[in-house]
Amino acid sequence: MTTPRITPRTTSAHVDYVLGLADDALVSAQRMGWWISRAPQLEEDLALANIGLDLLGQARSLLSHAGRLEGEGRDEDDLAYWRDERDFRNVKLVERPQDDFGVAMARLLVLSTWQSELYAALQRSSDPVLAAVAAKASKEVAYHHDHARQWVLRLGDGTDESHARMQAALDAEWPWVAELFDQSHLDPALVAEGVAVAPESLREPVLRRLGDVVREATLEVPEVAPRVPGGRAGLHTEHLGRLLAEMQHLTRSHPGATW
Amino acid sequence: MTGTHDVGAGRDTRAWRVASRVLDPELPVVTIEDLGILRDVTEDDQGRVHVQVTPTYSGCPAMETIRTDLIDRLSEEGYLHVTVEFVLSPAWSTDQITAQGRARLEEYGVAPPPTEAERRQGPVGLTLSVRCPQCGSPDTRESSRFGSTACKSLWVCRHCREPFDHFKAL
C-alpha cells in the first residue's frame, strides 16, 4: 500500500467524500425513524427501526472519522447537529419524505443495493478507517437489501393494487437514482489514491441488480429522465431543511444538554 | 485509533480477567468475552488499563453501557485509570461467539447462530432450520427477520408453539 499524498486540497476533498457517505446514512436513518409506530405491523416497526439504527451507527463512525480528518476539533455531534443544510453532502434520493410504504421499500432497495456494491469495493480503500467501516457495514446492508427485496417482490407480484402502488413507488424514486453515480463533485485524486470508489464504476452492477429484482417482481424498470445532481455540493431539495429542523432542534435549543 | 494489537494479547492479565466478566447488558447471561466482542486489555507499568471492544452491529446501543460497566468493574478492582476504545476492524462475526457463549445463549432461550460450517453461503443465506431452544424441535419458522435487538430475529416453534429469539448469523 502506498501512502496517499496529503495536500490541503486532497484533505478537504477527503473530508467531503466521507461526509457524503456519512450524510447518506444519517439522513436515511432519520427518515427510517419516521416509520416507528407507523409501520403496517409490529414486526415491520422493529425491522425499520433496526435498519435505521444500523444506518445511524454507520453514520456515527463516518462522521467521527470526517471530524478527525478535518482536524478542527469537531466531533460526530457537532457535525450532525451544528451544520446547516448547505453543508450536508448527502444525495437527494435519501432526503425526500417517504411516508408511503412502497416508496420506503423502493428507496431502501436502491440504497441498500448501492451501499452493498459501494462498501464491497470500499473495503479495499487506502483509508484504513473507511475500509473498516465498509467491512462492518457490508454485512448489515446485506440484511437491509434482503428485507427490501422481499417486500418489493411481495408487493409487485401481489394484488393489482399492490402491484400498481409498487410500480408508482419505483417511478417516484427512479429519477433520483442517477445521482448516486455522479462524480462531478468528487476530486479525481481521491480515486487515484485509492481512498474513494469511483461512483461511475458502480452504475453497471447496481442497475443490473436492481433490474433483476424489479423484473422478478413483475414490475418494470422506469424509463425516466434523471434529476439534476447537486446534493454532494450542498444543493438540496426543499425537504432537507425541514428534516434537519426536526433532527437538530433539541440540541440547538439546549446546547450541551446531557441526560 | 491506537496501533493494532494481536487480538487478546493481554488475555493472561488480571485486568483481562476482570473485564472478561462484564455481562452483555441485553443478554445478561453471556459475558463480553463469550460474545467475542472483548478484543484486548492492556495494562501499562503505571497501572493504566486500555480496553478494546468491538460492536456486534454498527449501531449497537449497548456499547455505552458496556463502556460504563467496564470502567466500574475495573475501578472496583483498583484500576483507577481506564480507557475504553471501540474498534471496528476486524469486523465482528457471530463465529467469534465462544462455545460457552453458544451454550449459555441456548440455555437462556436464544437459539445460537449457525456455525461457520453450518452456513452454506453469506450471512443472509441461512437456509438450514433453527432448532427451538425450548423443546429442541427443528420444526420452526421465522416470523420476523428483525427481532427485539439488531442482532436477533424472531422465530416460532411449530412443535411447542413457543416464540423464541435467534441470534442472526453475521
Burial of A1 (0-12, 13-18, 19+ CB in 10 A): exposed
**Residue A183, in any domain of the structure:** yes
Tell if the CB–CB gap between A53 and B148 is shorter than 8 Å: no
Given CB atoms, is B145 within the 8 Å cutoff of chain A?
A: yes
Query: Total domain count for chain A?
Result: 1
The CATH number of residue A89's host domain is: 1.20.1260.10
Of B91, B143, B148, the CB nearest to A139: B91
Between these two residues, B10 and A78, which has the higher pLDDT value? A78
Q: How confident is the model at residue B15 (pLDDT cuts 50, 70, 90)?
A: very high
Q: Give the residue-averaged pLDDT of B96-125.
A: 82
Tell if the CB–CB gap between B58 and A54 is shorter than 8 Å: yes
Which residue type, as a one-letter code, is found at position B138? P
Chain A residues touching B168 at Cβ < 8 A: 143
Beta bridge partners of B52: B40, B85
pLDDT digits (tens, 9 = 90+) for B76-92: 999 999 999 999 989 99
Angle (nearest 5°) at CA B56 between B55 and B62 = 65
Chain A residues touching B144 at Cβ < 8 A: 43, 46-47
Q: What are chain B's domains?
A: 14-86 (3.30.300.130), 110-167 (no CATH)
Count of beta carbons in the 10 Å neighbourhood of residue A223: 7
Mutating which of A44, A50, A55 best tests the B interface, going by the most B Cβ atoms within 10 A? A50
In angstroms, what separates the C-alpha of B133 from chain A's closest C-alpha? 21
Tell if the CB–CB gap between A133 and B59 is shorter than 8 Å: no
pLDDT digits (tens, 9 = 90+) for A131-149: 999 999 999 999 999 999 9
Share of chain B above pLDDT 90, in %: 66
Tell if the CB–CB gap between A136 and B91 is shorter than 8 Å: yes
pLDDT value, residue B124: 52
Chain A residues touching B145 at Cβ < 8 A: 47, 143, 146-147
B83 sits in which H/E element: strand B82-86
Check if the beta carbon of residue A57 is closer than 8 Å to that of residue B54. Answer: no
Angle (nearest 5°) at CA B47 between B46 and B48 = 95
Of A129, A140, A146, the CB nearest to B57: A140
Check if the beta carbon of residue A98 is closer than 8 Å to that of residue A34. Answer: yes
**Residue A225, in any domain of the structure:** yes
Contact partners, residue B117, CB within 8 Å, separation at least 6: none
Give me the interface pTM, i.e. the ipTM: 0.81
Dist CA B10 CA B17 (whole Å): 10
3-state SS assignment for residue A151: helix
Of B58, B60, B146, the CB nearest to A46: B146
Count of beta carbons in the 10 Å neighbourhood of residue B6: 9
Tell if the CB–CB gap between B123 and A50 is shorter than 8 Å: no
Tell if the CB–CB gap between B90 and A135 is shorter than 8 Å: yes
**Residue A116, in any domain of the structure:** yes
Dist CA A74 CA A129 (whole Å): 17
pLDDT digits (tens, 9 = 90+) for A66-109: 999 999 999 999 999 999 999 999 999 999 999 999 999 999 99
Q: By C-alpha distance, which of A54, A29, A157, A175 is closest to A104?
A: A29
Chain B residues touching A147 at Cβ < 8 A: 145-146
Check if the beta carbon of residue B146 is closer than 8 Å to that of residue A147. Answer: yes
Q: By C-alpha distance, which of A5, A2, A25 is closest to A14?
A: A5
Residues in chain B, overall count:
170
Q: Could you tell me if residue B8 is left (phi over 0), alpha (psi between -120 and 50 degrees) or otherwise beta?
A: left
Of A61, A129, A147, the CB nearest to B58: A61
Tell if the CB–CB gap between B58 and A136 is shorter than 8 Å: yes
**Residue A141, in any domain of the structure:** yes
Q: Give the residue-averaged pLDDT of A197-209.
A: 98
> Which domain does A171 fall in, by range?
8-253
pLDDT value, residue B85: 95
Residue of B nearest to A57 (CA): B59
Which residue type, as a one-letter code, is found at position B115? T
pLDDT value, residue B6: 47
Residue A191: pLDDT over 60: yes
B163-167 and B152-157 strand pairing: antiparallel
Given CB atoms, is B60 within the 8 Å cutoff of chain A?
A: yes
**Residue A258, in any domain of the structure:** no
Dist CA A205 CA A228 (whole Å): 22
Tell if the CB–CB gap between B1 and A129 is shorter than 8 Å: yes
Burial of B119 (0-12, 13-18, 19+ CB in 10 A): middle
